[in-house]
Chains A and B, each alone.
Chain A
Amino acid sequence: MREVLLRATAISKTFGGLIAVDNVSLELRRGEIHALIGTNGAGKSTLINVLTGELRGANGRVELDGQDISAWPQHRRARAGLGRSYQRTNIFPGFTVFENCRLAAQAGHQRPWSLAQAAGRCAVSGGAAQRALRLAGLEGHEHRLAGIMAHGQQRQLEIAMCLATAPRVLLLDEPLAGMGAEETVRMLELLQGLQADHAILLVEHDMDAVFRVSSQVTVMVDGKVLASAAPEAIRANPAVQQAYLGGAQ
């Protein structure tokens, strides 16, 4: 059995009377891409927001490396190695591509008191940003303004910013949304490359992609886990077919 990096146990989150996430448990292991699929409103993004600490007041327990981080604020979880990307592109539009990544990388090397050194000269964050941009395939675009890039490139930047913080657990919320065919192939290759020393949760609607790269698939419906198994078993599961794959397969 591979090493579990992130373990979520019995996570529930309600908004008023609405139960967005209902008693969900999952484990993310190093070396695995764990896909999370489900219809819109199934609670996938809410689950990510609970895991990262962006949403507070959820029930259940989140463990990173066996340590209970349920009470930790978001920034502390992020620095401990929990990285995320957003479903809707969430960047710094007025900054350059490089500065977007450098700023994200700076989180690991904050030193706010060192006023004499210009941030742009910070070799640690600059180097991390450059590596993340290369991985995400944005080399050569460093000096462009992030806000005027094409949508697909902004999605790549979204991933690059997540990688720049050097996380061990990646929670990726529909990273392929809005990407072209070529970019999709490239992104999947990147994820497979990262798989070796990261635990990856991949929320995705592109079923071909999901079944191609994932080693575990969890299906959510109405906030609950309907099934969680290897891709072949999920494809063959009649309940999943009826609820989500449309019964056509």
Chain B
Amino acid sequence: MRFRFARLPMAFALFALVALAALPWLATPYMVDLTTKIMIMAIFALSLELLVGGTGLVSFGHAAYFGVAAYAAALLAPKYDAASLPLLFAIAVLAAGAYALVVGALVLRTRGIYFIMVTLAFAQMAYYIFHDTKVGGGSDGVYLNIKPELTILGWKPFNLDNGLHFYFFTLVLLAAVFVFLTLLLRSRFGCALAGIRVNETRMRAAGFPTYSYKLAAFVLAGMLAGVAGFLFAAKDGFVNPELLSWHQSGAVLLMVILGGAGRLHGAVVGAFALTLLQEAFASEAIFGSFAKHWQLLLGATIILAVALLPEGLTGVADEIRAWRLRRRDAGQSAGATDA
């Protein structure tokens, strides 16, 4: 296999897994909580990477599926009793998938800039449904008072009320989503998506029903965003319409771009980078009173990063390699090398 996806640095993934597994023993509870939040965003970014890097579909409304799953979890959980974790999880993910199926069936008839705009429009529609109607408590949102529980024959393997347990539950799901997408992108399905990204006309001429492939990817990405949305609702026990807002769609797209679209680990790196930058710039300990203008610093940093690193943070290694090759070639043709 000679795809960029398949040359995925396994070493990086393993190192990150070990580091994340060891973190709770090395960091403060605040850091553990923050990392849980980042890992949820990493799952969200991975789901979008399937569309942006894997299929070439730039969705600017991906928060809708995240938010629909979060609302489904909060609204459908029993009020005074713990919900069944596998059941609520499945319902949330399927709700996100169902909305992605409806939206995808329509928006995939457009392409390019129109696709971006129409995905945004459908996300805004979902946003205003939750914001302006009583379905989900309006702009105040709703609470998920009691965390869902997993009970196997009366035995509870973990308790999501415990921050540490929640951390590892999220880490396991992040690893599972990562492995799933790695396999998917290497499979025939993933290679067909890559072909569609590069040259959809040729794929159709070869005999691929490209619309169905794109729809399958769109629904799958919606469901994976739903995994992240479910975790978000379960973690803080509170959801509001901002989860579906275009800010959220923009943030997750930024994570994919900042980390480097076209590489799965880019989405994870992007989620960490964007959230940590935001934390650092908003920290009064570092920036004093200027910290309240953190958005200004974050914006400037992102503009710089995108201008200087068009391939994203994880593309730096590739760019250095390409630069070295060019320099070597230039040196050889100028007769400047010793050999």
Contacts and interface: CB of A to CB of B under 8 A. Distances in A.
User: Would you call the interface of chain B mostly helix, strand, loop, or mixed?
Assistant: helix
A92 B195 contact: yes
A113 B189 contact: yes
Contacts of B202: 86, 90-92, 104, 161
B314 to A, nearest CB: 17
B192 A103 contact: yes
A74 B191 contact: no
Contacts of B192: 103, 106, 110, 112
Interface string A116-157: 111110100100000000000000000100000000000000
Given A103-B195, A110-B188, A113-B189, A118 B204 contact: no
B207 A91 contact: no
B190 A119 contact: yes
B198 A112 contact: no
Interface in B64-96: none
Interface in A72-130: 73-76, 78-79, 84, 86, 90-96, 99, 103-104, 106-120, 122, 125
A125 B2 CA distance: 16
Contact of B191 (A75, A103, A113): A103
Interface string B197-233: 0110111111111100100100000000000000000
B201 A54 contact: yes
B206 A114 contact: no
Contacts of A125: 188
Contact of A112 (B6, B183, B216): B216
A115 B183 contact: yes
A91 B183 CA distance: 25
B110 interface: no
B278 to A, nearest CB: 34
B201 A104 contact: no
Contacts of B191: 99, 103, 106, 119
Given A106-B188, A118-B6, A54 B204 contact: yes
Contacts of B186: 118-120
A195 interface: no
A214 interface: no
Interface string B167-206: 0000000000000100110111111101100110111111
A114 B187 contact: yes
Contacts of A12: none
B199 A75 contact: no
A218 interface: no
Contact of A96 (B2, B187, B208): B2
A78 B199 contact: no
A45 interface: no
18 contacts: A54-B201, A54-B205, A73-B209, A74-B204, A86-B205, A90-B201, A92-B195, A95-B198, A99-B3, A99-B191, A103-B192, A104-B206, A107-B207, A114-B187, A115-B180, A119-B186, A119-B188, A165-B207
Interface of B: 1-3, 6, 180, 183-184, 186-192, 194-195, 198-199, 201-210, 213, 216
What 10 A-B pairs have minimum CB-CB distances, sorted nearest first? A107-B207, A78-B207, A112-B189, A120-B1, A119-B191, A79-B207, A107-B206, A118-B186, A104-B206, A119-B188
Interface of A: 52, 54, 73-76, 78-79, 84, 86, 90-96, 99, 103-104, 106-120, 122, 125, 143, 161, 164-165
